[in-house]
A and B are shown apart, each in its own frame.
Chain A
Amino acid sequence: MSDPLTPYLWLGALLFTCGVVCMATKRNAIGVLMGVELVLNGANVNFVACAHYNPTFALEGQVFALFTIVLAAAEAAIALAIVLNFYNNHNTVDVDAAEELRG
């Protein structure tokens, strides 16, 4: 495994896994959001790394990374607004409490 890209991919995978685990385990909605950020940044690392080592996609990789950041920011804003509303209504940010729509 002498490809210089590999360590970056490992890093991306690690970040992604950390994010997923964070989303799946945290009961706090803010924690879940943080997990989402980790997942996105894991993907960002992959984009940037691939762009760097594959000159064909030099520009595209960076642009996608930038898109992801912007989208992450927007998503965070909406998600935080939802969380705030949820707190106003239920006096908690525990995602397990949000079960009114269960089957």
Chain B
Amino acid sequence: MLDFADNPGMLYVVGTLVPLASFVALLTLGGLKNLGRRYKDTGWGQSLYWLLGGDEPGRAGAYVATCAIGISCVMGTIGLVRFLGEHPLPKHDHTQHTAADAHHGHEQEEPKHAHADDHVDAAWAGRVTFATVGRMQSDHRPGMKMELGYRIDHLGAVMFAMVTFIATLIHIFALGYMGDETQKMVDDHQAHVTRRGRYQNFFMWFSLFSFSMLNLVIADNFFQVFVSWELVGACSFGLIGFYYERHSASTAANKAFITNRVGDVGFIVGLMILWSSVGTLNFQEVFSRIRCPSADSDGKLALAGQIVRLDETEFKDGERTYKWTPEGVGPSVALFPLHAKHWHGLGAPDPKRSHPLDQEISVTPKAELDDYGVMPYWLLTLAGLGIFLGCVGKSAQFPLQVWLPDAMEGPTPVSALVHSATMVAAGVYLTGRAFPLFTPEARLAIAYTGAITLFTAATIAMVVHDIKKVLAYSTVSQLGYMIHALGIGGWIAGLLHLLTHAFFKALLFLCSGSVIHGCHHEQDMRKMGGLRKKMPITAATMLVGCLAIAGTPMFSGWYSKDAILAESLAFVTMNPGHFLLLLAPLVTAGITCFYMFRMWFLTFTGKPKDHHVHDHAHESPRTMTVPLVVLACFSVFVAWGWPLWDAEASYLAHVIGASEPAAAHAEAHALHEAAHHVLPVHSIAGALALLAAVIGAVFAVVTYLTRKLDPAEAVAQFPRVYRLFENKWYFDELYSVMFCRPALAVAGWCRTFDTNAIDCFIDNTAKKTISLSRFGGKVDSKVVDGLVNVTGNSIRYVGNSLRHVQTGHLRGYVLYLVMGAVGLFGLATYFVSLAAAK
């Protein structure tokens, strides 16, 4: 039996599997019902069909799915509470590295610091090998293990709780929002078709999605992440294309899927590099192989947590020797043995150590994990970039951001769950998980990717009119913030923003869903306005969401955005050449504030612009408003800490910080200390962020609330800029010209070649074959059959002529007999006489 008391990790395993069970149940029920519908004419088919609810699209499935995710949520919460109880947070944490911390210096920074990658708690992890690959009978290699496993650390526990909680709320919201699908027949006005309701289908996809996402969160190896990664991609495809009768929806689903494939190519390349060079896909094993361990039996190591680069020296006795030099720019990377107690060489500048600093290590490249190995540095960079490319696709970063806005074709709960709160967060989550893998070059690429994304997406969000598209671009922009933060080394800041953003973006999406539901599927903000009176709860909760995302002090977004800007400022202070990495997020903070309030003002204030929409607008049912209120509360206080007004005191940040990789921790610590000597980073960053937000808000108020400024005039003044933004920086057109049209042209050529050359050849061959067969047929019927017939006929003729011998006259027979006997006698006499004569 499952023993949750001794083995609390099982809470998470079961919590992950419950939605899978729900998916399987719904799939089976749906399959049986379809079977019944198909064989409705037969007795058993009809009874099966009616037993499963008949024409009504069953509501039961939806409750099953909602209960399943609810159970997961309860388990996730229990697990989180227990985990935090068993793993007390360290007193001094990265987020408190203020000036005071700098005074304490290194002495208090012990390796005991609860970094999760140093402590693997057996009760919270487990793995199973399900296949061993590459072992041959004649081979001495040990073979590499494919594993399934789970491992819970602070980040995983918090993510699990967040995902299950938001998913539960969105399931509940969807119970109401997808109400139309419970009808026997649904009229799809956009696709002009009438179809059966697909209520249960929707929740089936949701269950599979929940399972995949949770599996991704608890996974302890890249392979399992990749499997879940593809599963969430498939679910996203199914959910974006939920209204697949609409051309736009099916196209959007394809676009999302194909764009993600581009990223996944990178992911696979990264996995293959790790698999072949490092020899394992387990997170902890990969990281402990490529990062220098913090200590060995001789004491602390100077290079702890760093990627150790080696120079090749000589080649003798079939072994190549590598040497470490203090410059650390060699072309190879050392891979460390997994289970050794003692590491030769790579010593510390610690006088107590007997090892000289630059002692050589001799390396025989072996596939075994318990031995030293080397891999080229550029390959490690490429592996990091490859895996990051996967994240770029999933998290809709530049240059693969084009799919996410189109993904808004799916139902709004999908946009809220899949395309804002959880799935797109998977890319950021994996970037955070794989952080020790990234070399400095790769990290810079990550930072710039994020910076470009957050700025471009925000500019587009300023000019779109579809309420969901604003949120979509805002999501892309916020994901850019997270990626940017991870790139510049702000591990905690990036992942904190991931969590806070999940809450307020889910809230904003559900609010927009409520508005859309209330306005009878009108999404154009130009037709809304003045809805505050009609739907007060939605308006209030959405305002909370806007304030949170804008970074208003005391709201959750403030804590994370402040942290990101502080990281940027610290980074740029130390690397002034990369000043764009500060400018972009700072300017975008203002833009974010502007477009969020623009959306709120356009929707809820002013005069109603379309009376038809306004007159029919109504507040949404209870199942929809309750999740809004709950999420609004979370959007406010989820990142709170004590004191409340200290942006760095966030309790959530402390929790996440406990699982910060040692590499990220050491680096961020050093960066902050250095930056603090130049200027007080945190207070300046906070002030700048607030200033930017206020400027953005003032612009929004002036333009859309008091109408002092006419947006049309601004457009008229910068027509080119406006057109650039409105056309989404021409990304779609660019890709169309760069990839789609060439691909279509090549396809056209292939088709021409196919029809003209290959088909022609095949047709001719076929014709020749037919005539050859005809000729063969003739030969067969004339020559072969003729010979056989002649043989048969001649035998018949001989038989016919011989039958007359059989006269049936007994006396005749006797006569022949006697004559024969006499004849034989005569012959015998003749031969005997001949013999006698001799």
> A27–B811 Cα gap in the complex (Å)?
8
Residue of A with least CB distance to B818: A20
Considering the complex, which residues of chain A in the window 8-41 have a beta carbon less than 8 Å from any beta carbon of chain B? Answer: 20, 23-27, 32
Asked whether, in the complex, the Cβ of B807 is within 8 Å of the Cβ of A24, the reply is no
Asked whether, in the complex, the Cβ of A103 is within 8 Å of the Cβ of B803, the reply is yes
> A99–B818 Cα gap in the complex (Å)?
20
Chain A residues near B810: list those with CB within 8 A.
32, 95-96, 98
Considering the complex, which residues of chain B in the window 523-556 have a beta carbon less than 8 Å from any beta carbon of chain A? Answer: none
Chain A residues near B809: list those with CB within 8 A.
95-96, 99, 102
Asked whether, in the complex, the Cβ of A24 is within 8 Å of the Cβ of B815, the reply is yes
Asked whether, in the complex, the Cβ of A103 is within 8 Å of the Cβ of B805, the reply is yes
| Shortest distance between the CB of A42 and any CB in chain B (Å) | 13
Asked if B808 lies at the interface with its beta carbon under 8 angstroms from chain A, I say: yes
Asked whether, in the complex, the Cβ of A20 is within 8 Å of the Cβ of B814, the reply is yes
| Shortest distance between the CB of B828 and any CB in chain A (Å) | 16
Residue of B with least CB distance to A25: B811
Considering the complex, which residues of chain B in the window 803-827 have a beta carbon less than 8 Å from any beta carbon of chain A? Answer: 803-811, 814-815, 818
Given A20-B818, A24-B818, are A99 and B807 also a contact pair (CB < 8 Å)?
A: yes
Chain B residues near A95: list those with CB within 8 A.
809-811
Q: How many residues from A make CB contacts under 8 Å with B?
A: 15
- Contact partner, B807, options A20, A23, A102, Cβ 8 Å: A102
By a beta-carbon cutoff of 8 Å, the part of chain B in contact with chain A is: 802-811, 814-815, 818
List 11 interface pairs A-B (beta carbons < 8 Å), by A numbering.
A23-B814, A24-B818, A27-B811, A32-B811, A95-B809, A95-B810, A96-B809, A98-B808, A98-B810, A103-B802, A103-B806
Given pairs A95-B809, A102-B809, A103-B806, 4 additional interface contacts (CB within 8 A)? A20-B814, A24-B815, A100-B808, A103-B802
Asked if A101 lies at the interface with its beta carbon under 8 angstroms from chain B, I say: yes
Chain A residues near B805: list those with CB within 8 A.
103
| Shortest distance between the CB of B711 and any CB in chain A (Å) | 118
Chain B residues near A102: list those with CB within 8 A.
806-809
> A102–B802 Cα gap in the complex (Å)?
11
Chain A residues near B815: list those with CB within 8 A.
24
- Which of B802, B806, B807, B818 has the most chain A CB atoms inside 10 A of its CB? B818
Asked whether, in the complex, the Cβ of B811 is within 8 Å of the Cβ of A24, the reply is yes
Per-residue CB proximity of A72-94 to B under 8 Å, as 1/0?
00000000000000000000000
Asked whether, in the complex, the Cβ of B811 is within 8 Å of the Cβ of A96, the reply is yes
> A103–B815 Cα gap in the complex (Å)?
18
> A98–B811 Cα gap in the complex (Å)?
11
Chain B residues near A32: list those with CB within 8 A.
810-811, 814
- Which of A24, A27, A101 has the most chain B CB atoms inside 10 A of its CB? A24
Asked whether, in the complex, the Cβ of B804 is within 8 Å of the Cβ of A103, the reply is yes
| Shortest distance between the CB of B834 and any CB in chain A (Å) | 23
Chain B residues near A99: list those with CB within 8 A.
807-809
| Shortest distance between the CB of B817 and any CB in chain A (Å) | 8
| Shortest distance between the CB of B278 and any CB in chain A (Å) | 96
> A99–B806 Cα gap in the complex (Å)?
9
> A32–B811 Cα gap in the complex (Å)?
9
By a beta-carbon cutoff of 8 Å, the part of chain A in contact with chain B is: 20, 23-27, 32, 95-96, 98-103
Chain B residues near A23: list those with CB within 8 A.
811, 814
Chain B residues near A27: list those with CB within 8 A.
811
| Shortest distance between the CB of A99 and any CB in chain B (Å) | 3
Chain A residues near B814: list those with CB within 8 A.
20, 23-24, 32
Chain B residues near A96: list those with CB within 8 A.
809-811
> A26–B809 Cα gap in the complex (Å)?
12
> A27–B809 Cα gap in the complex (Å)?
10
Residue of A with least CB distance to B811: A24
> A102–B812 Cα gap in the complex (Å)?
12
Chain B residues near A103: list those with CB within 8 A.
802-808
> A98–B807 Cα gap in the complex (Å)?
10
> A98–B810 Cα gap in the complex (Å)?
8
| Shortest distance between the CB of B758 and any CB in chain A (Å) | 68
Residue of A with least CB distance to B812: A24
> A23–B810 Cα gap in the complex (Å)?
9
Chain A residues near B807: list those with CB within 8 A.
99, 102-103
Chain A residues near B802: list those with CB within 8 A.
103
| Shortest distance between the CB of A1 and any CB in chain B (Å) | 17
| Shortest distance between the CB of A92 and any CB in chain B (Å) | 13
> A76–B483 Cα gap in the complex (Å)?
121
Nearest 5 A-B pairs (CB), nearest first?
A102-B808, A103-B803, A103-B806, A99-B808, A95-B810
- Which of A26, A27, A32, A95 has the most chain B CB atoms inside 10 A of its CB? A95
Chain A residues near B803: list those with CB within 8 A.
103
Chain A residues near B818: list those with CB within 8 A.
20, 24
| Shortest distance between the CB of B823 and any CB in chain A (Å) | 14
Asked whether, in the complex, the Cβ of A101 is within 8 Å of the Cβ of B811, the reply is no
Chain B residues near A98: list those with CB within 8 A.
808, 810
Chain B residues near A26: list those with CB within 8 A.
811
| Shortest distance between the CB of B800 and any CB in chain A (Å) | 9
| Shortest distance between the CB of A15 and any CB in chain B (Å) | 14
Residue of B with least CB distance to A95: B810
> A25–B818 Cα gap in the complex (Å)?
12
> A74–B424 Cα gap in the complex (Å)?
110
| Shortest distance between the CB of B423 and any CB in chain A (Å) | 95
> A101–B818 Cα gap in the complex (Å)?
21
Chain A residues near B806: list those with CB within 8 A.
101-103
Residue of A with least CB distance to B807: A102
> A24–B812 Cα gap in the complex (Å)?
7
| Shortest distance between the CB of B826 and any CB in chain A (Å) | 15
Chain A residues near B808: list those with CB within 8 A.
98-103
Residue of B with least CB distance to A101: B808
| Shortest distance between the CB of A61 and any CB in chain B (Å) | 21
| Shortest distance between the CB of B831 and any CB in chain A (Å) | 21
> A27–B814 Cα gap in the complex (Å)?
12
> A32–B809 Cα gap in the complex (Å)?
13
| Shortest distance between the CB of B803 and any CB in chain A (Å) | 3
> A94–B809 Cα gap in the complex (Å)?
11
> A23–B816 Cα gap in the complex (Å)?
12
| Shortest distance between the CB of B570 and any CB in chain A (Å) | 122
| Shortest distance between the CB of B477 and any CB in chain A (Å) | 109
> A23–B809 Cα gap in the complex (Å)?
12
| Shortest distance between the CB of A89 and any CB in chain B (Å) | 15
> A88–B806 Cα gap in the complex (Å)?
24
Chain B residues near A100: list those with CB within 8 A.
808
| Shortest distance between the CB of B181 and any CB in chain A (Å) | 90
> A26–B804 Cα gap in the complex (Å)?
23
> A27–B803 Cα gap in the complex (Å)?
23
Residue of A with least CB distance to B799: A103
> A101–B809 Cα gap in the complex (Å)?
10
Chain A residues near B804: list those with CB within 8 A.
103
> A99–B810 Cα gap in the complex (Å)?
8
> A26–B814 Cα gap in the complex (Å)?
11
Residue of B with least CB distance to A99: B808
> A23–B813 Cα gap in the complex (Å)?
10
> A32–B815 Cα gap in the complex (Å)?
12
Chain B residues near A24: list those with CB within 8 A.
811, 814-815, 818
> A24–B818 Cα gap in the complex (Å)?
9
- Which of B803, B809, B810, B818 has the most chain A CB atoms inside 10 A of its CB? B810
Chain B residues near A20: list those with CB within 8 A.
814, 818
> A29–B808 Cα gap in the complex (Å)?
14
| Shortest distance between the CB of B135 and any CB in chain A (Å) | 82
Residue of B with least CB distance to A27: B811
| Shortest distance between the CB of A56 and any CB in chain B (Å) | 21
| Shortest distance between the CB of A30 and any CB in chain B (Å) | 13
| Shortest distance between the CB of A33 and any CB in chain B (Å) | 11
| Shortest distance between the CB of A35 and any CB in chain B (Å) | 8
> A30–B806 Cα gap in the complex (Å)?
23
> A66–B806 Cα gap in the complex (Å)?
35
Residue of B with least CB distance to A17: B818
> A20–B815 Cα gap in the complex (Å)?
8
> A46–B810 Cα gap in the complex (Å)?
27
Residue of B with least CB distance to A94: B810
> A96–B806 Cα gap in the complex (Å)?
13
| Shortest distance between the CB of B35 and any CB in chain A (Å) | 70
> A26–B810 Cα gap in the complex (Å)?
10
